[in-house]
Structure 1
Amino acid sequence: MHDTIPVSEIMVTDVVTAPPDASASHAATLMRDEHVSSVIVVRDSSPVGIVTEGDFVSHLCERADLGRVDLETVMASPLETIAPDTSIVDAVAVLRGNGLEHLPVVERGHEADATDGVGESGTLVGILTTTELSYYVPHLAHRTSDREHHRPQRQVRTDTLYERDDWTFDYRGEDESTVSVGDVARFSKAISDDDVEAFAEITGDTNRVHLDEAYAGETRFGERIVHGILANGLISAALARLPGLTIYLSQESSFLAPLSIGEQVTATCEIVDDLGDDKFRIETTVSDGDETTVLEGDAVVLIDELPPDPALEGDAATAD
């Protein structure tokens, strides 16, 4: 679970650096020779700025003589940094919130404010980029939605065999019969102890962290947790209730946080791309009762037309 993994476990420790009085051409040469996309500008081992490939493409290309341009005059500063014990989840939030692709990792002294992500205090110990994070959160580059929608709630024909009173489904879209970009579906239910035990029996995944309280209490989670794939199954439940017959083509998920047994769990599916030929890309999240995101990812689905309603056909035959 990503909220238990610190960035120190995935960051690059061999950081390419240069002093503030180095030239921009020197930084460009370092990027080329070291095969990196950024150079961290450091003063007395503390990071004070950054120069990236994007800087050269966007504005440094207009400079006539990069050999006479000091990095201190063109670097991005003040610098957003994170601590080595920052979780992957929090690192993603910093990147997204600031529109960044590079995050220097700084070890701060006891006198520094551990919550202050900006400033020159501390020693550079690594760098985290969207490249490293893409191995753990592969959909990071795709996610663009803020999930703020004002589409009306719709009643859709749900071709599920049965429903339960403690399950809830909400669909907001352009209309009741088709899907379109911007539509959002949510399915919610509590995942009980019986659900976890049944899932373990059905799948054979009897990992003790899901079933043995004493054992789980000695792990990093401190308690039994829901199987990640069981939580992922709620996404399938939401997709099954979209207008039309939804056929899974692919699912890419990252498990961000553990899910406690007994939590009310909500899967949210937002249609973000029309891929053509009745195929759609859908951003997916699963959150717990505190609205903490425990899982997120992307799905691609094919949506066929629904077959005739058997119940309606039966009624018609009876009427004849």
Structure 2
Amino acid sequence: MHDSLTVAEIMVTDVVTASPDASATDAATLMRDEHVSSVVVVRDDAPVGIVTEGDFATQLCERTDLGSLELADVMSTPLETIPPGTTIVDAVSVLRAEDVEHLPVVSDDDESSTLVGILTTTELSYYVPHLAHRTGGLKSRPPRRQVRTDTQYERDDWTFEYRGEDESTVSVGDVAQFSKTLSDGDVESFAEITGDTNRVHLDEAYAAETRFGRRIVHGILANGLISAALARLPGLTIYLSQESTFLAPLSLGDHVTAVCEVVDDLGGSKYRIETTVTDGDGTAVLEGDAVVLIDDLPPETALDSETATAD
């Protein structure tokens, strides 16, 4: 499981480094020749900063003499580092919190903080693919937007977020996310509504004797959270198709998140969506693709009508 896999097992140990007094040109040459996206700046084997491709792009916009500058003048510092025993789940949390894509790994055996490796979103994507889609990575998505939706109501224990460049239209790169805790009541209601009363979902003693060792959430119920996220895209979302791969079971009481990223504009207001559902630990339990049709909202929604009547 991802919560037991450590950074030491997947990090790159052949780290490209340079001293603080090396020039920016030296670092750029290293990146090109070594085919890497960053150079860690070290002093006495201890990392003190980092220069990435993104740093160069930013600095080029602000300076005309970048090539002759020392790395000490352009590197990102203070430097966020992690020990090799960090789990990759915790590493993902650090990457997201710090809004970075590179984490130098330092030894935790002594006080010198010796550089022993580096972890990037590239290595993580091999083990946690839903965290680094083809059109993006762990970097921040476009800004969060509050958009008009076609939902009848929301609940305080639901969490919704939509990130896109525009508040009224859907574009490639937009991301919708919906989270809720799947309770015992949710599972029982789903069983009653659908007729799927498999005892592995409802009977604790029975489920304990199965390969799962516990009751688990219906897979299609988890899949339904994708529909919930898509319902909160701008416009009226109409499902055309969905392909899903179930990767792991969900436990009752787990806080589940569905993430939908628009990856292709198929024309005719149709879009292909990459879909992922994760559990409370960030482990992917479901991955797939959907194709949706996005219609304009009706000119006057039910909510608008009720508001007008109340006035």
% identical equivalent positions = 40
Give the structure 2 partner of residue 92 of structure 1.
Answer: 92
Match in the other structure for 1:58: 58
State the SS of the aligned residue for 1:83.
coil
Deviation at 1:31, TM superposition (A): 1.3
For residues 212 and 249 of structure 1, the distance between their equivalents in structure 2, rounded to whole angstroms, comes to 26
Distance (Å, rounded) in 2 between the aligned partners of 1:265 and 1:189 = 9
Equivalent residue letter for 1:237: G
Give, in whole Å, the separation in 2 of the partners of 1:52 and 1:145: 21
Aligned-partner residue type, residue 130 of structure 1: T
Q: What is the distance in 2 between the residues matched to 1:251 and 1:269?
A: 13
* Inter-partner Cα distance in structure 2 for 1:5 and 1:267: 21
Q: Of 142, 151, 154, which residue of structure 1 is paired with 2:151?
A: 154
Is the contact made by 1:234 and 1:266 (CA closer than 8 Å) also made in structure 2? no
258-267 or 87-96: which moved more? Answer: 258-267
Change in Cα spacing, 1:147 to 1:210, as seen in structure 2 (3 Å) is farther
Q: Give the structure 2 partner of residue 126 of structure 1.
A: 117
Could you report, residue by residue, the CA deviation over 1:189-221 in whole angstroms, capped at 9, with x for unpaired residues?
5479932799xxxxxxxxx996286xxxxxxxx
Aligned CA distance change for structure 1 residues 264 and 137 (closer, same or farther; 3 Å)? closer
Q: Which of 196, 199, 209 is matched with 1:194 structurally? A: 199
Give the Å deviation of 1:65: 7.0
* TM-score of the two chains, using structure 1 as the length reference: 0.59
**Per-residue deviation at 1:83?**
1.1
How many pairs align?
Answer: 251
Contact map agreement 1:272 1:283 (CA 8 A) in 2: no
Report the equivalent of 1:236: 223
Question: Quick check: 1:268 aligned with 2:276?
Answer: no
Cα RMSD of the aligned pairs, angstroms, is: 4.6
Q: In the aligned structure 1, how far is the partner of 2:219 from the partner of 2:143? A: 21
Alpha-carbon offset, residue 285 of structure 1: 3.0
> Does the alignment pair 1:301 with 2:301?
no
Q: Structure 2 stretches of 5 or more lacking a match?
A: 163-168, 189-197, 295-311
- SS of the aligned residue for 2:258 comes to strand
Bigger radius of gyration among the two: 1
Check conservation: 1:154, 1:171, Cα contact below 8 A.
no
Report which stretch shifted further, 3-12 or 234-243. Answer: 234-243
TM-superposed deviation, 1:151? 6.3
Residue 118 of structure 1 aligns with which residue? Answer: none
Q: Residues 41 and 150 of structure 1: is their aligned pair in 2 closer, same or farther, counting only changes over 3 Å? A: same
